Amino acid sequence: MRAIVLVARAVFKESVRDRVPYSMVVFAVLLMAASYLISQLTAGQDLKILKDLGLAALSIFGLLISVFIGIGLVSKEVEKRSIYSVLSKPVTRAQLVLGKYLGLVATLAANLAVMTVAYYAVLVYVQITASEAARGAWMAPAADPRLLAAIVLIFGELMLVTAVALFFSTFSSPLLSALLTLGLWVAGHFNSDLRHFETVLDVQPVAWVARVLYYLLPNLAPFDVKAEVVYGIPVAMSHVAYTLVYAALYISALLAAAIAIFRQRDFK
Amino acid sequence: MAAAIETEELTKDFLVGFWRKRPYRALDGLSIQVQAGEVFGFLGPNGAGKSTALKLLMQLLYPTRGMATILGRPLGDPSMKRRIGFLPENPYFYDYLTAEELLAYFARLFGHTGADVAARVARALDEVGLAGERRMRLRQFSKGMVQRVGLAQALLNDPEVVFLDEPMSGLDPLGRKRVRDIIVGLRKRGCTVFFSSHILSDAEALCDRVAVLVQGRLVGIGRISEILNVDLKGWELVVASLPPTATPALAGRTRRITQLSDGHTLLELPSDVAPEALMQELAGQGARTISLNPIRETLEDYFVESVAAAALRKTGGI
């Protein structure tokens, strides 16, 4: 366990100093600030737009960060051969994979925390400066703590995406890993359509393949509760818990597969 | 004396080709024993399989067949890994960590804690001459500096066996001298050093024994004194003010006469010519002796002959 924590700490240190994710966080924060101006242009819908844009920025930039660093976790390390020195130390390949994953999750959490603070700062500002009449028309307060449910689920989704990126990076190049991860993220959001594919195309073999893909691909739709929280509709705690358990199981399976592949690999 | 490193029929095949994969044998039945406390040179031309052998020993590659032990333990044994150091060829480390942070990370992976980590890191950086750059991020380091960080991380745990893959690569003459001194220091404290190199003069100066690998096969192994022919092969005599009239008389007694740029003349004599008599004779004609050196086989001669013989065997010449 000590080795896993040591690897995770090194990954965290390395990742938070990387300029690319850092600039993504800055860009996301700027976008949140800008969304305040955009919301001023849309009478009546201003708070909804503000909340929606902020969560979208959090989600998209979080995704880019997890894919960008996630693919570099193993494939870049193999490509640049820094792995040679690490694996000659008393560290197993499984410990290395798990440490790298945890390190990136910690980086992701730090980035997401910064973006969340910026998001709430904008919302608190709106809450303080809004007129009494405007506040009365709101379906939910601006700095609504229920928005945190959406952010927690975004974090769960990003943890899963990171595990996908890590899985691909154990056997493919950084570019291919990035494309496969983004492809799977898109497919994961439309996964539920695959379950009843026969209603779209009534060809049995295709429907079977679609059904298999439905069970195989990650189902990311339950992680998206942005629409609910923006309108102030409560998200059941049970939904959040079940979705996070699903993420944990899927991540465990991906990490187990990544370790199995990584253990067999030759580093030429 | 117990073998620090032992390999038996260690073999590695890689699959090459895009559509039709076919095996390519990078290492072919390597069987060697390196005794504890030895400095062992692993020599060979590019593509000979030196790095493949080192990667097999570090379990970065898995063998197609054969086995190996280090310090009597199977490869991959964590307790054995705590007792060894490894410098990969052209090492690369994390861009955004400082040299100090990287070494502290590795020292902790070796199981060191607290003040011991800081002391080891400071000592290792000092040993490779990077104490002043310890807070610099590794992305700002030159190739030679990264090589020195690589050496520092291989020495962090006071290893009993050190594997160095091309340790002189990318180093300037001062850096090379420092590495040579470090290897001598390691030998003094009883550490086994296994290093691959292209620089034969370093191997000749440092190694107790060498192995020569050509096209994945071991073509020679032994003590430098055993494998090199100690018999005299001739003399190199450098003289000044050699009159032109003396040259015809030398024709039958020299292998080659070379005019040097400083006005001196280099005479290469066969081993059966007594240099003293010739020197007296030339002095009588007004020439002055500058230097006289015996010609003996060097490691480079042995290396070139081994490689040529292996190439000949492959083409069916022998």
Per-position pLDDT tens, chain A of length 268: 889 999 999 988 888 887 666 777 777 777 777 776 776 666 556 778 888 888 888 888 889 888 888 887 778 788 888 889 999 999 999 999 999 999 999 988 988 898 888 888 888 887 787 777 777 777 777 777 888 889 999 999 999 999 999 999 888 888 888 899 998 888 888 877 777 766 776 777 777 887 788 888 888 888 988 888 878 788 888 999 999 999 999 999 999 999 999 999 988 8
Quick one: pLDDT at residue B29? 92
Quick one: pLDDT at residue A41? 64
Residue B14 in domain: yes
Would the CB atoms of B55 and A90 count as touching at under 8 Å? Answer: no
pLDDT interval class at B85 (50, 70, 90): very high
Q: Are residues B191 and B241 in the same domain?
A: no
Residue B220 in domain: yes
Contact by Cβ (8 Å): A154, A131: no
Question: Which of the listed residues B212, B227, B242 is the one where a domain comes to its end?
Answer: B227
- In which element (H, E) is residue A73 found? none
Which sign does the torsion angle of CA A216, A255, A246, A59 carry?
Answer: negative
**Whether pLDDT at B23 is above 70:** yes
Percent of chain B with pLDDT over 70: 97
**Whether pLDDT at B60 is above 90:** yes
Q: Are residues B104 and B239 in the same domain?
A: no
Would the CB atoms of B97 and A266 count as touching at under 8 Å? Answer: no
Q: Are residues B170 and B249 in the same domain?
A: no
Task: State how far the Cα of B312 lies from the Cα of A200, in Å rounded to an integer.
Answer: 69
Residue B313 in domain: no
Quick one: pLDDT at residue A39? 64
Residue B309 in domain: no
Structure tokens, A156:
């769960």
Quick one: pLDDT at residue A43? 58
Query: CB of A90 within 8 Å of any CB in chain B?
Result: yes
Mutant choice from A89, A104, A107, A265 vs B, greatest count of B C-beta within 10 A? A89
β-bridge pairing B161-165 and B192-197 = parallel
Which sign does the torsion angle of CA A252, A257, A263, A268 carry?
Answer: negative
> Residue A166 burial (CB < 10 Å; 0-12/13-18/19+)?
buried
Task: State how far the Cα of A70 lies from the Cα of B273, in Å rounded to an integer.
Answer: 72
Number of domains in chain B: 2
List all residues 6 or more positions away from B60 whose beta carbon is below 8 Å from its beta carbon. A83, A84, A87, A88, A266, A267
Helix axes A147-169, A46-71, angle to 10 degrees: 20
Q: Are residues B282 and B151 in the same domain?
A: no
Residue B6 Cα distances to A102, B10, B71, B235, angstroms: 37, 10, 8, 41
Could you tell me the CATH number of the domain that includes residue B22?
3.40.50.300
Q: Are residues B53 and B194 in the same domain?
A: yes
Give the mean pLDDT of B90-101: 88
Q: Are residues B182 and B283 in the same domain?
A: no
Of the candidates A138, A110, A99, the one whose C-alpha atom is nearest the C-alpha of residue A21 is: A110
Residue B307 in domain: no
Which chain B residues are Cβ-neighbours of A264 within 8 angstroms?
A: 62
Task: State how far the Cα of A145 lies from the Cα of A140, in Å rounded to an integer.
Answer: 10
Place of tokens 């700002």: B140
Give the mean pLDDT of B234-258: 84
More confident residue, B225 or B94: B94
DSSP 8-state class, residue B2: -
Q: Are residues B181 and B85 in the same domain?
A: yes
Q: Are residues B183 and B61 in the same domain?
A: yes
Residue B252 in domain: yes
Ranges B90-94, B282-286, B297-301: which has the least confidence: B297-301
Q: Are residues B274 and B290 in the same domain?
A: yes
In what side-by-side order are the strands of the sheet with B192-197? Answer: B84-87, B161-165, B192-197, B39-43, B209-214, B217-223
Place of tokens 């007004």: B286
Q: Are residues B208 and B261 in the same domain?
A: no
ipTM of the prediction: 0.81
CA distance B177 to chain A (A): 23
Residue B303 in domain: no
CA distance B16 to chain A (A): 12
Task: State how far the Cα of B84 lies from the Cα of B155, in Å rounded to an integer.
Answer: 9
- In which element (H, E) is residue B299 found? helix B299-314
Q: Are residues B287 and B200 in the same domain?
A: no
Range of the domain at B72: 3-227
A with B: how many residue pairs have Cβ under 8 Å apart?
Answer: 81
Query: CB of A261 within 8 Å of any CB in chain B?
Result: no
Ranges A132-141, B159-168, B217-226, B237-246: which has the least confidence: A132-141
pLDDT per residue over B175-223, tens digit each?
A: 888 889 999 999 999 999 999 987 777 888 889 899 988 889 998 888 8
Residue B301 in domain: no
Quick one: pLDDT at residue B316? 64
β-bridge pairing B192-197 and B209-214 = unpaired
Give the mean pLDDT of B67-75: 93
Structure tokens, A122:
């904008």
**Whether pLDDT at B97 is above 60:** yes
Could you tell me the CATH number of the domain that includes residue B284?
3.30.70
Query: CB of B246 within 8 Å of any CB in chain A?
Result: no
Q: Are residues B219 and B239 in the same domain?
A: no
Quick one: pLDDT at residue B318? 47
Ranges A211-215, B145-149, B225-229: which has the least confidence: B225-229
Of the candidates B219, B205, B184, B166, the one whose C-alpha atom is nearest the C-alpha of residue B29 is: B219
